[in-house]
Structure 1
Amino acid sequence: MDPRTSAQDVMRCDLCKTAVVQMHCDTCLVNLCTACVGNHMISDQYINHKVVTFQTRKSTPIYPGCVIHDKERCKMYCKQCNIPVCTKCIASDEHLGHKLSEILQILDEKKDSIIQEQIELNDTIHPTYQDIASDVQNRMSQLQKEYVDLSTAITKHGEDWHRDSDKLVKKLTADVEDIKNTQLQTLRKQMDEINKTMSDIKNEINSLEDAVASKDISKVYSVKSKIEKYRKLPPKIVPSLPKFFPGKIQLELCKLFGSLSLSSITSNKHDYNMTTSQKSSEAGSSPPVKQLLDEPETVTTIDTGDRELHNVACLSDEEIWTSGCDSTMKLYSINQGSLLKSINTRSGNMPGDIAVTKNGDLVYTDDKDRTVNIVKNEKIVEMIRLQNWIPLSVCSTSCGDLLVIMGNDVITQIRVVRYSGSTKKQTIQVYDKGNLVYSNSHEKYMTENKNLDICVSDNGAEAVAVVNQAGKLRFRYTGHTPATRKRPFDPVGIITDSQSHILTADFNNECVHIIDQDGQFLRYIDCGLSYPIGLCTDTTDNLENAGVL
């Protein structure tokens, strides 16, 4: 087709320029028709051509060319010289005795590093700048309001004076306006800088995503980290509001009416801290840190009428979801103890675990039909259906993802899978020095800590296993049995609080263990239940506990 008279043409072979493209050489990045494949293969016999169908192009890793030996591809990596090497390089004396690794392994390590940088930029640094921008915007609005109040006070004071004082009133009001404009201009300038930085961060995130998705090893390896640049947060600019001091009728008019104090703008370099993508329930304020009580205080008790409860999940500080030994999930008013709503599982099976999402929707697992379901507007929607795996526990993360811990049918493998909606994002199947971190049992409970650690109470291993966001084992807590009971540590329900403390119910010893985010034992809570199981905390760190009275 003539491109001058056609809006679009089909792709043509790079060799003959006429036939329609059907094949592709991943090595040379050349589009070919079937008739030209043979000619291309013999065009340079020293190259290992990888010819694939056009639809599956770029599926073969593109090994970097050797800078020393022409037409050779580097499939190994010299860790001592920190460069890719080909087979001829390895055969030479230059790399004799050096430690070599497959370049694909180096690629995976590099991509892991890029992914972690991408996660920090996306989940921590960019949300921090968003919070800073919101904070600056709020202070600008507050500054506007306070300056309006200041001008109003001056004007009102002027109304009490003679007409001759109007000129002075106008002058002082103009001075206030000038100070306000100067300070707002300073804040606007910082706002522009922050917006530009956030735009740069988004561009960097997109660049890293392209690198992660690329098969071009040279492109991935050429990625230079810029994260240190963005870790340096901007100073917090705090304008100082001038004060108006009304004068007394004693001196000349200028002194009588009043004056403005000096104003200033301070810049505090260390006033901002890194945050995650989780937003505070009250912007601009932080809840006070609660101290651990020496003795627990029972705030309220709800008798559900069930023989026993297995799971609890806080919908709010006033409402709580529960589930027990039947198919019914119940919503209760915490203060009144009254039943607000009941929902039965779609299959009629007992829910394995329940959780509440950031949007306030109830999520539950059904281990009998291998599903994870969400309740929206009292209608149950299947989100995830597993094959050959059984969902054991579920939790909603600070960024809105779902974490599902699951075991295979033959109870030989346990893994944690991260989902965004119904899309699988990450699989964590942790090993510790060659050994599985989680025991081969199906009794597991899970939660995410404020530092994004994943905390699993492993009843079969009599331990709590904590891994970081990337799935690396941080520590294992194996209990601190009360001397009065001396029974084996038997962890079941697990939750965290606003201070990143980890709380887990000890079924055997009828108490709750509290450890810090690094696994150090802090204290017990005698929860007043014979066999505590489910746990959850509200926004004020009150602990809700389910079990048998």
Structure 2
Amino acid sequence: MDSSTSAQGLMRCDLCVTAMVQVHCDTCLVNLCKACVGEHIISEESKDHKVRKSAPIHPGCISHIQEKCSMYCNQCYIPICNTCIASDQHLGHNSSTILKILDEKKNKIIQEQIELKQTIYPTYQEIASDVKNRMSQLEKEYGDLSTAITKHGEDWHREIDKLVQKLKAEVDEMKTSQLQTLQKHLDEIKQKLSNMENDIESVNVIVESNDFSKLFSLQFDVDRYIKLPYKIVPSLPKFMPGKIQGEELSKNFGALSSSSLTFNKDSYSLKTRQKSLEAESSSPVKRLLDEPETVTTIDTGYGLSYLACLSDEEIWTSGGDSTMKLYSINQGSLLKSITTKSGNTPQDIAVTKSGDLIYTDYCQSDRTVNIMKNEEKEEMIRLQQNWRSDSICNTSSGDLLVIMRSDDGKLTKVVRYSGSTEKQTIQFDDEGKPLYTPGLCIFPKSITENKNLDICVTDEGAKAVVVVNQAGKLRFRYTGHTPAPKNQWFDPVGITTDSQCHILTADMYNDCVHIIDQDGQFLRYIQCGVSQPKALCTDTKDNLFVVQYSTTQVKKIKYLQ
């Protein structure tokens, strides 16, 4: 069995014969793991090595089955082999190398992937959030509708109860009136009955006495009782209930209008990257001040290395120990102090969009990137063995960019993380040459993302600011401007950007900050009495904050109108 493959047919590095293949040198036609790239390039420095992430799998030729295609016919739109080129089949046709076509295809896919992640996917997230909000609003509004119907029903119940009570009161009043009349009539009849009983008793006594004088004097008048009392017949009221007809009742009570769902495909708009950039560029244009001015100076009382703006009023700083301190910018007072989880000195600090502090642990025993959430320190990323972090920055998409270098000092790369997942490595240019100088110089490299999504890195070893686009393709290298304020070589260390896509870099030995535009053109220097500027950051109002390496001070400088 070939020692360069596993039992499953996975390819092994041609150099160490143990690690899996991760890159391919097109110049030497060898497969390498990432750890062996530096050794391979150094071992044959005379060659122009073209290193790509993985070995290309050349397609088979459709005309010559045994051949592999190394070229691509731009007229026939098919891969072709050397035999095809030697034949007359593609004579006079314009052709390109398969590797060029592969690069173009990969770049297109990368751009589409970026568009998917940064524009289409967030748009769908917004749509999902909008639908969810509409559902919540719908639940509330239907609840309000049901409550209104219930309230209207209760109003009807109250009115019906009032009507029932009114009718019942009228019934009681009619009943009382008629009963009173009948009671009076009854009392009159009872009085006559009593009178008749008395008369009958008196007559009986006289008749039984046989007293002729009394009998002859008796005046008994039956006629007064012959006329009977009148008969009173009460007439009861009748209740005539209204008809309960469903349609009429519904009409009188109230009715619902019909509901509907409108499907409007034009309601949502895709926020394309171009539109996004146009929106960004539509922010107010600010002109550079003729004379930048120092707004305030914060004296921290300890040697500083790095800083990061938490807000326009607060700023995080770190120095030569394990402590990171939060200061009030306006008052210059210390607000909070925290220490690293390991007790090591943080190599760099940054602040997320949500205001959480991120710091890197540089020491060999740790090799982590950590985040402070709710006063708790959490490990975000653990770097691969043999790699250490130099600098970090957050991106507009929420990703994290980390500059890291190998322990042996031979390699440097930028890695993009989404959460703890490594999703992009930026290390070589299109010719396979390293984008960044190896190892650690006097000061570590610094990194930031520009508003146009370019990635900007200070490379002190190369005396340059290296700028690549979002896909990792080199855009330009800025190597300083002459005459320099102190006529020293360009020594870029700290870096930041602003709302105008300006790139600002600290020039340590010329005691100034360079301002260049997004295409690398020099605009002007900021001096303002700055001494050995090291770390930089800007707030949302485009104020510049400068750590002075030789002092314990942070300067706040206004340079835009």
**TM-score of the alignment, normalized to the shorter chain, above 0.5:** yes
Query: Once the 2 structures are TM-superposed, how far is the Cα of residue 434 of structure 1 from its aligned partner?
Result: 5.7
Equivalent pair of 2:293/2:528 in contact (CA under 8 Å): no
Q: In structure 2, what is the equivalent of residue 19 of structure 1?
A: none
Q: In structure 2, what is the equivalent of residue 525 of structure 1?
A: 526
Separation of aligned partners in 2, 1:288 and 1:100: 47
Separation of aligned partners in 2, 1:352 and 1:490: 19
Query: Once the 2 structures are TM-superposed, how far is the Cα of residue 133 of structure 1 from its aligned partner?
Result: 12
Equivalent pair of 1:125/1:275 in contact (CA under 8 Å): no
Matched residue SS, 1:530? coil
Query: Once the 2 structures are TM-superposed, how far is the Cα of residue 474 of structure 1 from its aligned partner?
Result: 1.0
1:365 aligns with 2:360: yes
Equivalent pair of 1:481/1:489 in contact (CA under 8 Å): no
Q: In structure 1, what is the equivalent of residue 513 of structure 2?
A: 512
Q: In structure 1, what is the equivalent of residue 384 of structure 2?
A: 386
Q: 1:354/1:478 Cα in 2 relative to 1: closer, same or farther (>3 Å)?
A: same
Amino acid at match of 1:303: D
TM-score (norm 2): 0.57
- 326, 334, 337: which one pairs with 1:331? 326
Separation of aligned partners in 1, 2:59 and 2:486: 64
Amino acid at match of 1:423: T
Q: 1:465/1:344 Cα in 2 relative to 1: closer, same or farther (>3 Å)?
A: same
Q: 1:433/1:61 Cα in 2 relative to 1: closer, same or farther (>3 Å)?
A: closer
Matched residue SS, 1:298? strand
Deviations 1:386-416 (A, max 9, x none): 3111111100000000001111122222111
Matched residue SS, 1:111? helix
Deviates most, 533-542 or 110-119: 110-119
Separation of aligned partners in 1, 2:127 and 2:520: 32
Amino acid at match of 2:288: L
Equivalent pair of 1:127/1:276 in contact (CA under 8 Å): no
Query: Once the 2 structures are TM-superposed, how far is the Cα of residue 340 of structure 1 from its aligned partner?
Result: 1.4
Query: Once the 2 structures are TM-superposed, how far is the Cα of residue 297 of structure 1 from its aligned partner?
Result: 2.3
Amino acid at match of 1:78: Y
Query: Once the 2 structures are TM-superposed, how far is the Cα of residue 479 of structure 1 from its aligned partner?
Result: 1.1
Q: In structure 2, what is the equivalent of residue 466 of structure 1?
A: 467
Separation of aligned partners in 2, 1:432 and 1:92: 31
What is the aligned residue count?
Answer: 364
Q: In structure 2, what is the equivalent of residue 138 of structure 1?
A: none
- 266, 270, 290: which one pairs with 1:193? 266
Q: Which has the higher contact order (CA 8 A, sep 6+)?
A: 2
TM-score (norm 1): 0.58
Separation of aligned partners in 2, 1:531 and 1:315: 24
Matched residue SS, 1:508? helix
Separation of aligned partners in 1, 2:57 and 2:347: 46
- 293, 296, 299: which one pairs with 2:292? 296
Equivalent pair of 2:492/2:508 in contact (CA under 8 Å): yes
Q: 1:100/1:422 Cα in 2 relative to 1: closer, same or farther (>3 Å)?
A: same
Matched residue SS, 1:430? coil
Separation of aligned partners in 1, 2:480 and 2:405: 24
Deviations 1:65-111 (A, max 9, x none): 86667x77864443343312467745643135867667576345313
Equivalent pair of 2:349/2:358 in contact (CA under 8 Å): yes
1:425 aligns with 2:419: no
Q: 1:93/1:107 Cα in 2 relative to 1: closer, same or farther (>3 Å)?
A: same
1:112 aligns with 2:107: yes
Matched residue SS, 1:331? strand
Query: Once the 2 structures are TM-superposed, how far is the Cα of residue 482 of structure 1 from its aligned partner?
Result: 4.9
1:397 aligns with 2:395: yes
Q: In structure 2, what is the equivalent of residue 93 of structure 1?
A: 88
Q: In structure 2, what is the equivalent of residue 416 of structure 1?
A: 414
Q: 1:124/1:97 Cα in 2 relative to 1: closer, same or farther (>3 Å)?
A: same
Q: In structure 2, what is the equivalent of residue 503 of structure 1?
A: 504
1:493 aligns with 2:494: yes
Q: 1:96/1:421 Cα in 2 relative to 1: closer, same or farther (>3 Å)?
A: same
Deviations 1:454-494 (A, max 9, x none): 11111121111111111111111111255551111111110
Q: In structure 2, what is the equivalent of residue 78 of structure 1?
A: 72
RMSD: 3.9
Q: In structure 2, what is the equivalent of residue 250 of structure 1?
A: none
Matched residue SS, 1:274? helix
Deviations 1:121-155 (A, max 9, x none): 442477689999999xxxxxxxxxxxxxxxxxxxx
Runs of 5+ in structure 1 lacking a partner? 1-22, 26-59, 136-187, 202-229, 232-272
Query: Once the 2 structures are TM-superposed, how far is the Cα of residue 112 of structure 1 from its aligned partner?
Result: 2.4
Matched residue SS, 1:431? coil
Percent of residue pairs bearing the same amino acid type: 64
Separation of aligned partners in 2, 1:519 and 1:366: 32
